[in-house]
Protein backbone atom coordinates (compact mmCIF):
# COMPACT_ATOMS: atom_id res chain seq x y z
CA UNK A 1 0.00 0.00 0.00
CA UNK A 2 1.29 3.46 -0.89
CA UNK A 3 1.94 6.00 1.86
CA UNK A 4 -0.70 8.43 0.60
CA UNK A 5 -3.37 5.73 0.56
CA UNK A 6 -2.53 4.61 4.10
CA UNK A 7 -2.70 8.18 5.40
CA UNK A 8 -6.04 8.70 3.66
CA UNK A 9 -7.41 5.53 5.24
CA UNK A 10 -6.06 6.57 8.63
CA UNK A 11 -7.95 9.83 8.36
CA UNK A 12 -11.29 8.20 7.58
CA UNK A 13 -10.83 4.88 9.38
CA UNK A 14 -10.57 6.31 12.91
CA UNK A 15 -13.98 7.94 12.48
CA UNK A 16 -15.78 4.86 11.19
CA UNK A 17 -17.52 2.14 13.23
CA UNK A 18 -16.10 -0.49 10.86
CA UNK A 19 -12.40 -0.48 9.97
CA UNK A 20 -11.85 -0.63 6.20
CA UNK A 21 -10.21 -3.94 5.29
CA UNK A 22 -7.29 -2.34 3.40
CA UNK A 23 -6.51 -0.21 6.46
CA UNK A 24 -6.74 -3.22 8.77
CA UNK A 25 -4.39 -5.24 6.56
CA UNK A 26 -1.84 -2.42 6.36
CA UNK A 27 -1.97 -1.77 10.10
CA UNK A 28 -1.67 -5.46 10.93
CA UNK A 29 1.58 -5.45 8.96
CA UNK A 30 2.78 -2.48 11.02
CA UNK A 31 1.86 -4.28 14.25
CA UNK A 32 3.80 -7.33 13.03
CA UNK A 33 6.79 -5.09 12.30
CA UNK A 34 6.52 -3.65 15.82
CA UNK A 35 6.54 -7.16 17.29
CA UNK A 36 9.63 -8.09 15.27
CA UNK A 37 11.44 -4.77 15.82
CA UNK A 38 10.29 -3.34 19.17
CA UNK A 39 12.77 -0.47 19.03
CA UNK A 40 12.10 3.24 18.69
CA UNK A 41 12.78 4.63 15.23
CA UNK A 42 11.86 8.31 15.63
CA UNK A 43 10.70 9.06 19.16
CA UNK A 44 13.15 9.62 21.98
CA UNK A 45 12.60 7.69 25.22
CA UNK A 46 11.01 10.78 26.76
CA UNK A 47 8.75 11.39 23.76
CA UNK A 48 7.75 7.74 23.78
CA UNK A 49 6.83 7.94 27.48
CA UNK A 50 4.71 11.02 26.75
CA UNK A 51 2.94 9.27 23.89
CA UNK A 52 2.30 6.22 26.11
CA UNK A 53 0.79 8.28 28.93
CA UNK A 54 -1.38 10.33 26.59
CA UNK A 55 -2.59 7.26 24.72
CA UNK A 56 -3.47 5.46 27.94
CA UNK A 57 -5.62 8.42 29.00
CA UNK A 58 -7.55 8.11 25.74
CA UNK A 59 -7.86 4.30 25.95
CA UNK A 60 -7.21 3.16 29.54
CA UNK A 61 -7.13 -0.41 30.71
CA UNK A 62 -10.54 -1.59 31.89
CA UNK A 63 -11.72 -5.16 31.48
CA UNK A 64 -9.58 -5.26 28.35
CA UNK A 65 -6.01 -4.10 27.65
CA UNK A 66 -5.41 -0.39 27.25
CA UNK A 67 -3.23 1.54 24.84
CA UNK A 68 -0.02 0.80 26.74
CA UNK A 69 -0.47 -2.96 26.71
CA UNK A 70 -1.19 -2.99 22.98
CA UNK A 71 1.98 -0.94 22.35
CA UNK A 72 0.19 1.88 20.60
CA UNK A 73 3.29 4.01 21.26
CA UNK A 74 5.45 1.78 19.07
CA UNK A 75 2.74 1.63 16.40
CA UNK A 76 2.78 5.44 16.29
CA UNK A 77 6.58 5.52 16.22
CA UNK A 78 6.67 3.16 13.23
CA UNK A 79 4.01 5.20 11.42
CA UNK A 80 6.07 8.35 12.00
CA UNK A 81 9.23 6.66 10.76
CA UNK A 82 8.02 4.69 7.77
CA UNK A 83 4.79 6.30 6.57
CA UNK A 84 4.59 9.97 7.54
CA UNK A 85 6.08 12.59 5.22
CA UNK A 86 8.54 15.00 6.84
CA UNK A 87 5.99 17.81 7.20
CA UNK A 88 3.45 15.66 9.06
CA UNK A 89 6.17 14.17 11.26
CA UNK A 90 7.31 17.69 12.16
CA UNK A 91 3.77 18.70 13.11
CA UNK A 92 3.49 15.68 15.37
CA UNK A 93 6.82 16.13 17.12
CA UNK A 94 6.29 19.87 17.55
CA UNK A 95 2.86 19.22 19.03
CA UNK A 96 4.35 16.69 21.40
CA UNK A 97 6.82 19.34 22.54
CA UNK A 98 3.96 21.77 23.09
CA UNK A 99 2.33 19.26 25.43
CA UNK A 100 5.39 19.45 27.68
CA UNK A 101 5.49 23.23 27.34
CA UNK A 102 1.88 23.41 28.47
CA UNK A 103 2.55 21.08 31.40
CA UNK A 104 5.49 23.24 32.42
CA UNK A 105 3.37 26.38 32.19
CA UNK A 106 0.50 24.96 34.21
CA UNK A 107 2.22 22.62 36.65
CA UNK A 108 5.97 23.37 36.41
CA UNK A 109 6.79 19.84 35.28
CA UNK A 110 6.84 17.70 32.16
CA UNK A 111 3.69 15.84 31.16
CA UNK A 112 4.98 12.43 32.25
CA UNK A 113 5.78 13.77 35.72
CA UNK A 114 2.34 15.30 36.23
CA UNK A 115 -0.40 13.56 38.20
CA UNK A 116 -3.10 11.65 36.31
CA UNK A 117 -5.55 14.47 37.06
CA UNK A 118 -3.12 17.07 35.73
CA UNK A 119 -2.46 15.01 32.62
CA UNK A 120 -6.19 14.61 32.05
CA UNK A 121 -6.61 18.38 32.37
CA UNK A 122 -4.07 18.98 29.60
CA UNK A 123 -5.83 16.55 27.29
CA UNK A 124 -9.15 18.17 28.14
CA UNK A 125 -7.74 21.56 27.11
CA UNK A 126 -6.41 20.11 23.87
CA UNK A 127 -9.79 18.54 23.18
CA UNK A 128 -11.62 21.78 23.94
CA UNK A 129 -9.37 23.70 21.56
CA UNK A 130 -9.97 21.13 18.83
CA UNK A 131 -13.73 21.29 19.40
CA UNK A 132 -13.65 25.09 19.23
CA UNK A 133 -11.77 24.94 15.92
CA UNK A 134 -14.40 22.57 14.53
CA UNK A 135 -17.27 24.70 15.88
CA UNK A 136 -15.78 27.79 14.26
CA UNK A 137 -16.18 26.12 10.90
CA UNK A 138 -19.66 24.73 11.60
CA UNK A 139 -20.93 28.11 12.81
CA UNK A 140 -18.91 30.14 10.33
CA UNK A 141 -20.38 33.42 9.14
CA UNK A 142 -20.82 34.11 5.46
CA UNK A 143 -17.45 34.78 3.87
CA UNK A 144 -15.47 32.80 6.47
CA UNK A 145 -12.35 31.44 4.80
CA UNK A 146 -11.24 28.99 7.45
CA UNK A 147 -11.42 25.24 7.17
CA UNK A 148 -11.99 22.32 9.47
CA UNK A 149 -8.86 21.10 11.27
CA UNK A 150 -6.90 18.55 9.27
CA UNK A 151 -4.98 15.69 10.96
CA UNK A 152 -1.74 16.61 9.24
CA UNK A 153 -1.99 20.19 10.59
CA UNK A 154 -3.56 19.70 14.01
CA UNK A 155 -1.48 17.71 16.48
CA UNK A 156 -4.24 16.55 18.79
CA UNK A 157 -6.48 15.43 15.93
CA UNK A 158 -3.48 13.66 14.42
CA UNK A 159 -2.64 12.07 17.76
CA UNK A 160 -6.15 10.79 18.47
CA UNK A 161 -6.38 9.41 14.95
CA UNK A 162 -3.19 7.41 15.43
CA UNK A 163 -4.11 6.17 18.91
CA UNK A 164 -7.57 4.97 17.89
CA UNK A 165 -6.33 3.33 14.71
CA UNK A 166 -3.34 1.74 16.40
CA UNK A 167 -5.46 0.36 19.22
CA UNK A 168 -8.40 -0.95 17.24
CA UNK A 169 -6.18 -2.65 14.67
CA UNK A 170 -4.12 -4.37 17.38
CA UNK A 171 -5.03 -7.96 18.15
CA UNK A 172 -6.50 -7.10 21.56
CA UNK A 173 -8.36 -4.03 20.36
CA UNK A 174 -9.80 -5.75 17.32
CA UNK A 175 -10.78 -9.04 18.91
CA UNK A 176 -11.67 -8.00 22.48
CA UNK A 177 -13.08 -4.50 22.02
CA UNK A 178 -14.61 -4.75 18.55
CA UNK A 179 -15.20 -8.50 18.96
CA UNK A 180 -14.08 -9.16 15.40
CA UNK A 181 -11.87 -11.91 14.02
CA UNK A 182 -8.58 -10.90 12.45
CA UNK A 183 -8.48 -14.13 10.45
CA UNK A 184 -11.40 -16.25 9.27
CA UNK A 185 -12.71 -18.95 11.57
CA UNK A 186 -11.92 -22.64 11.21
CA UNK A 187 -12.12 -23.88 7.65
CA UNK A 188 -14.95 -26.33 7.19
CA UNK A 189 -13.70 -28.63 4.47
CA UNK A 190 -16.87 -30.71 4.35
CA UNK A 191 -19.60 -28.20 5.13
CA UNK A 192 -23.10 -28.92 3.74
CA UNK A 193 -23.63 -27.31 0.34
CA UNK A 194 -26.39 -27.13 -2.22
CA UNK A 195 -25.60 -29.72 -4.88
CA UNK A 196 -27.18 -30.80 -8.09
CA UNK A 197 -29.13 -34.08 -8.12
CA UNK A 198 -27.09 -37.30 -8.17
CA UNK A 199 -23.91 -35.58 -6.80
CA UNK A 200 -22.32 -35.51 -3.36
CA UNK A 201 -21.17 -32.51 -1.40
CA UNK A 202 -17.85 -33.90 -0.17
> What is the 3 state secondary structure string of 39-68?
CCCCCCHHHHHHHHHHHHHHCCCCCCCCCC
pLDDT tens per residue, range 150-201: 545 789 999 998 999 999 888 888 777 655 554 433 333 344 434 444 444 4
**Rounded to whole angstroms, how far apart are CA atoms 83 and 144?**
33
pTM for the model stands at: 0.74
Is 122 among the domain residues? yes
Residue 171: the pLDDT is: 87
Q: Is residue 62 part of a domain?
A: yes
90 found inside a domain: yes
Q: How many CA atoms lie within 13 A of 114 on its CB side?
A: 25
Sign of CA dihedral 38, 43, 82, 72: positive
The per-residue pLDDT of the chain, averaged, comes to: 79
Higher pLDDT, 114 or 19: 114
Q: Is residue 192 part of a domain?
A: no
Q: 157, 177, 158: which is closest to 70 by C-alpha?
A: 177
Does residue 182 belong to any structural domain of this protein?
Answer: no
Residue 156: CB atoms within 10 A of its CB come to: 21
Does 186 fall in a domain? no
Domain contains 156:
yes
pLDDT score for 137:
61
- Residues 115-142: what's their mean pLDDT? 83
Mean pLDDT of 32-45: 93
- The number of domains in the chain is 1
Average pLDDT over residues 15-29: 74
In a domain, 194, yes or no: no
Report angle CA 27, 95, 58 to the nearest 5 degrees: 55
Residues 11 and 27: their CA atoms lie apart, in Å, by: 13
**143 conformational bin, left if phi > 0, alpha if psi -120 to 50, beta if neither:** left
Amino acid sequence: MHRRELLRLLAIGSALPVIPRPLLAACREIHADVAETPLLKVLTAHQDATVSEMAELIIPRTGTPGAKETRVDLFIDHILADWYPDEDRTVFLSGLGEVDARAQSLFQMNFVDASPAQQAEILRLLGDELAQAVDAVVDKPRGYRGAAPEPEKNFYLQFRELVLTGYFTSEAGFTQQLREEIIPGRFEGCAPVQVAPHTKGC
